[in-house]
Amino acid sequence: MRTRRLLTFVLAAMAFAVPVAAQTPVTAADLTRLEAGASEVSKAVTALERTDATLSAEMKKQLGDVTDEITYLKVKMRREGTVTREEYASVRDRLDTLRIRAQGQKVSSSPAGADPSGRMITVPVGTEFDVRLQTPLNSGTAKIETRFEATTLLDYQVEGMMAIPAGALVRGFVSSVQKAGRLDRRGSMTLSFDELRIDERTYRLRASVVQALDGKVGEDATRIGAGAAVGAIIGGILGGGKGALLGVLVGGGGTIASTEGSDVDLPAGTILRIRIDQPLQIARD
């Protein structure tokens, strides 16, 4: 009887221990890894000075802010003995964004189509395709480095080979944002895309927004047809200016500005047409 009670107590203790373990508390080692990551990003950002001094200066400032946040977390850990997972994840995501942007500059130009080995498919610079926003964004509440997700609307092929299937996950971040104010009442927001996920594979992506389309138009087009036909329909709508998201205008560099004296509001479901700004190599299955 005593053994049975002891076993019951152990099992109950294990049951209560699972949620605690699942929370994976932040440790000093986690913060040390953040510091090491910031050091690596700093080297990559410094190397950018040779090819893009403006971007390098911008990223150095952002990296400085992230480094300050890491220092704050270390002080908090030392004084209070704990750092929340949300605080840690926020800084880690910002650091990852900077790392991807810095590494993305190293991608070299290559021709369209498949490589001679047949293992890779290259999506060339200038390629445009549509993604459906999964995360609502508003220039009144968004912050620089706020991350968001979208999914590709249609299959995209290169020379008859599937490169990017419909439903692939595209991730990005807010690279600049301006709230609507009393003087300049037009809000604006720049979205940058840095990651593409197809099944279990992740690819570095550099792309920007060229047009914003009302999600309802995309749904109507999808009901009309499929594949290239839908792409042609959406392309025609965009080309004719019909169906474009009202109240916003997309300018150079992917900056989305309000035209109605308010903040830019992009609800979930908004279709964004994005342009590939660096060659994208996709592994061929």
Same domain, 118 and 250: yes
Does residue 98 share a domain with residue 119?
no
More confident residue, 101 or 279: 279
* Domain boundary, last residue among 56, 74, 104: 104
CA distance 151 to 130: 9
Provide mean pLDDT across the span 193-217: 87
Encode pLDDT of 102-155 as tens digits: 765 333 333 344 444 557 888 998 899 899 999 999 999 998 888 999 999 999
Tokens encoding 232: 């042609």
Does residue 79 sit in the same domain as residue 145? Answer: no
> Average per-residue pLDDT in the chain?
77
- For 69-114, write each residue's pLDDT tens digit: 899 899 888 888 888 888 887 788 778 777 777 765 333 333 344 4
> pLDDT: is 57 or 241 the higher one?
57
Q: Residues 162, 41: one domain?
A: no
Is pLDDT at 224 greater than 70 in this prediction?
no
At how many degrees (to 10) do helices 228-240 and 215-224 cross? Answer: 140
Same domain, yes or no: 42 and 125: no
**What whole-number distance in Å separates Cα of residue 151 and Cα of residue 153?**
6
Q: What is the CATH number of the domain that holds 279?
A: 2.40.128.260
The residue among 137, 190, 188, 147 whose CA lies nearest residue 169 is 147
Domain count, the chain: 2
**pLDDT(255) > 80:** yes
For residue 8, pLDDT over 50 is answered with: no
Binning pLDDT at 50, 70 and 90, where does residue 168 land? very high
Whether 211 and 249 map to the same domain: the answer is yes
Q: Are residues 160 and 46 in the same domain?
A: no
Q: Which of 104, 131, 152 is the last residue of a domain?
A: 104
Query: How far, CA to CA in Å, does 52 sit from each of 67, 97, 101, 145, 209?
Result: 22, 17, 12, 20, 21
209 within 8 A of 176, measured Cβ to Cβ: no
What is the residue range of 27's domain?
A: 2-104
**123 and 263 in one domain?**
yes
Tell me what the mean pLDDT of segment 33-38 comes to.
88
